[in-house]
């Protein structure tokens, strides 16, 4: 690298490992501390890979919206390529990514989500009925797995036109949820072999690598079974009038535009994104309200006063406090704290700093949501920061939790609507209390 170019600030990287030693087990916490020292554009060399961390809503907007082609590519890690071969939807690049992404986007537009509202409601009612059934026994409940199954069913309705009963004892479904959770967590880890290529042969023999690959394979096998079942009965009629997202992709597969492995990897991404993100956000809110009964009372009072029957998507327009609580949960308990890394498509200058082609570009979403430069009392849970005309700009800023620009989360509209309906149903019908004395610990884990 040219030593006379102006690089983003950082500590001096160590030989071989760069700044890897600074990241620890929770990289988003370490990066937040580094951001406080080095600012919104910071160099982070991970092994042999040059990288830049970007922090702050305005900085993210400039990088991914105003200059949307500059960092449009995804950084591709070797550990992921072993599984997806660059044929998935989240980390593929170029024309292929635009093509496979466009197919899904056509099926997740707001008008189609509205048409699926009945199916979403059905799943959430099923979840609530299960909670009510358990509540009658007087036994405590761990709601998280049931919420994940509900999210799984909602995304499966969109993808495959199928769902599963709310029976955690069903080992096949329960294990599938486990595999998703394992993969979601491990996918967020910075595997050393992605940045220290000389240790790759050794690392791929470790327990962590085997656990990650095993979970990937089991999810892939599960999805492949669903694809194969549909292929047996797939017809010309399905091609002309797809009943779900799988039909839309199978038409392209039949035309020779997507491989079988590509299909599996695309649906792997769609399932993973659709299950854990929404479920973890609701889970974070449930923990919060056990510590903050005033928030729970505020939700119940608004929902009871404004919504007479079952909640609908139309009720989003008349429930400002509920919307504000959801947005504040997304901000305060960011589920994907560092996003999915991007890559510089060419040598460039950004905010006066030189960034080398191929550098890993990390969105510090966690820091952008918790920095005191961007938010008043950022560690406090204050839904009112999203209420009223004066705070409309904050609503735009919190959308960065779903990414920004042309590579943002394709299911943003679905996730927002699912979150509203799930929160509205749950807090209109139930009161949540902890069986553990004292405040629940915020144990949010780093994941992608």
Residue 31 within a domain: yes
Count the domains in the chain: 1
Residue 142 within a domain: yes
The reported pLDDT for the residue numbered 83 is 82
Report residue 327 as tokens: 């947005």
pLDDT tens-digit series, residues 395-415:
999 999 999 999 999 889 999
Residue 443 within a domain: no
- Is the per-residue pLDDT at 184 higher than 90? no
- Locus of tokens 């780093």: 446
Domain coverage including residue 62: 20-429
Residue 436 within a domain: no
Average pLDDT over residues 83-103: 93
* C-beta neighbour count of 133 within 10 angstroms: 11
Average pLDDT over residues 24-44: 95
E strand or H helix that includes residue 216: helix 207-231
pLDDT tens-digit series, residues 58-70:
999 999 999 999 9
- Is the per-residue pLDDT at 447 higher than 50? no
For residue 286, what pLDDT band results from cuts at 50, 70 and 90? very high
pLDDT tens-digit series, residues 321-331:
999 999 999 99
- Is the per-residue pLDDT at 96 higher than 60? yes
**What whole-number distance in Å separates Cα of residue 67 and Cα of residue 61?**
8
Report residue 30 as tokens: 């370490």
For residue 175, what pLDDT band results from cuts at 50, 70 and 90? confident
Residue 434 within a domain: no
The reported pLDDT for the residue numbered 446 is 47
Report the predicted TM-score, pTM, of the whole model to 2 decimal places: 0.93
Residue 394 within a domain: yes
Check the CA dihedral 44-72-180-311 and report its sign.
Answer: positive
> Is pLDDT larger for residue 200 or for residue 60?
60
For residue 182, what pLDDT band results from cuts at 50, 70 and 90? confident
Average pLDDT over residues 286-312: 95
The reported pLDDT for the residue numbered 186 is 74
Residue 11 within a domain: no
Residue 272 within a domain: yes
Average pLDDT over residues 270-297: 91
Query: How remote is the C-alpha of 321 from its chain's centroid?
Result: 23
**What whole-number distance in Å separates Cα of residue 98 and Cα of residue 53?**
25
pLDDT tens-digit series, residues 2-20:
555 799 999 999 999 999 9
Average pLDDT over residues 115-135: 94
E strand or H helix that includes residue 362: strand 360-364
CATH code: domain of residue 240: 1.10.630.10
Query: b/e for 241-276, b at 16 or more Cβ within 10 A?
Result: ebebbbbbbbbbbeeeebeeebbbbbbbbbbbbbbb
Averaged pLDDT of the chain: 91
Average pLDDT over residues 272-277: 82
The reported pLDDT for the residue numbered 61 is 97
- Is the per-residue pLDDT at 443 higher than 70? no
The reported pLDDT for the residue numbered 189 is 67
- Is the per-residue pLDDT at 363 higher than 80? yes
Query: b/e for 5-14, b at 16 or more Cβ within 10 A?
Result: eebbebeebe
The reported pLDDT for the residue numbered 16 is 94
Average pLDDT over residues 355-371: 97
For residue 177, what pLDDT band results from cuts at 50, 70 and 90? confident
**What whole-number distance in Å separates Cα of residue 279 and Cα of residue 80?**
24
Query: How remote is the C-alpha of 283 from its chain's centroid?
Result: 14
Average pLDDT over residues 227-243: 91
- Is the per-residue pLDDT at 437 higher than 90? no
Would the annotation count 334 as a binding residue? no
Average pLDDT over residues 34-51: 97
Average pLDDT over residues 88-103: 95
- The share of the chain scoring above pLDDT 90, in percent, equals 69
pLDDT tens-digit series, residues 364-373:
999 999 999 9
């Amino acid at each position: 690298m040219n030593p006379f170019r102006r690089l983003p600030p950082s500590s001096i990287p160590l030989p071989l490992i760069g700044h890897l030693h600074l990241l620890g087990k929770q990289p988003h916490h370490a990066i937040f501390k580094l951001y406080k020292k080095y600012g919104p554009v910071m160099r982070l060399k991970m092994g042999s890979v040059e990288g830049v961390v970007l922090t702050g809503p305005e900085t993210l907007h400039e990088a991914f919206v105003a200059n949307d082609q500059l960092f449009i590519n995804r950084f591709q890690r070797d550990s992921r390529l072993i599984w997806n071969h660059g044929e998935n939807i989240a980390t593929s690049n170029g024309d292929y990514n635009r093509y496979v992404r466009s197919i899904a986007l056509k099926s997740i537009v707001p008008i189609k989500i509205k048409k699926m509202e009945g199916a979403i409601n059905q799943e959430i009612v099923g979840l609530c009925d299960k909670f009510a059934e358990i509540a009658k026994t007087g036994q405590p409940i761990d709601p998280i797995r049931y919420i994940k199954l509900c999210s799984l069913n909602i995304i499966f309705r969109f993808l495959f036109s199928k769902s599963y009963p709310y029976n955690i004892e069903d080992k096949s479904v329960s294990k599938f949820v486990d595999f998703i959770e394992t993969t979601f967590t491990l996918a967020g880890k910075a595997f050393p072999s992605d940045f220290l290529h000389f240790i790759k042969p050794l690392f791929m023999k470790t327990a962590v690598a085997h656990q990650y690959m095993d979970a990937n394979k089991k999810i892939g096998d599960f999805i492949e079974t669903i694809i194969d079942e549909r292929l047996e009965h797939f017809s010309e009629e399905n091609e002309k009038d797809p009943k779900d997202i799988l039909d839309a992709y199978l038409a392209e597969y039949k035309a020779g535009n997507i491989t079988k492995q590509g299909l599996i990897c695309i649906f792997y991404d769609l399932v993973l994104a659709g299950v854990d993100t929404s479920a973890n956000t609701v889970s974070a809110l449930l923990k919060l309200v056990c510590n903050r009964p005033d928030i729970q009372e505020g939700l119940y009072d608004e929902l009871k006063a404004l919504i007479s029957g079952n909640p609908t998507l139309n009720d989003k327009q008349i429930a400002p406090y509920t919307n504000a609580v959801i947005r504040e949960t997304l901000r305060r308990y960011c589920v994907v704290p560092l996003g999915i890394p991007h890559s510089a498509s060419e040598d460039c200058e950004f905010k006066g700093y030189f960034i080398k082609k191929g550098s890993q570009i990390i969105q510090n979403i966690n820091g952008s949501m918790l920095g005191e430069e961007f938010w008043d009392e950022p560690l406090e849970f204050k839904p009112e920061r999203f209420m009223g005309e004066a705070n409309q700009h904050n609503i735009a800023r919190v959308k960065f939790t779903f990414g920004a620009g042309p590579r943002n989360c394709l299911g943003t509209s679905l996730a927002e609507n699912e979150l509203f309906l799930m929160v509205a149903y749950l807090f209109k019908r139930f009161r949540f209390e902890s069986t553990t004395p004292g405040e629940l610990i915020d144990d949010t884990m780093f994941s992608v």
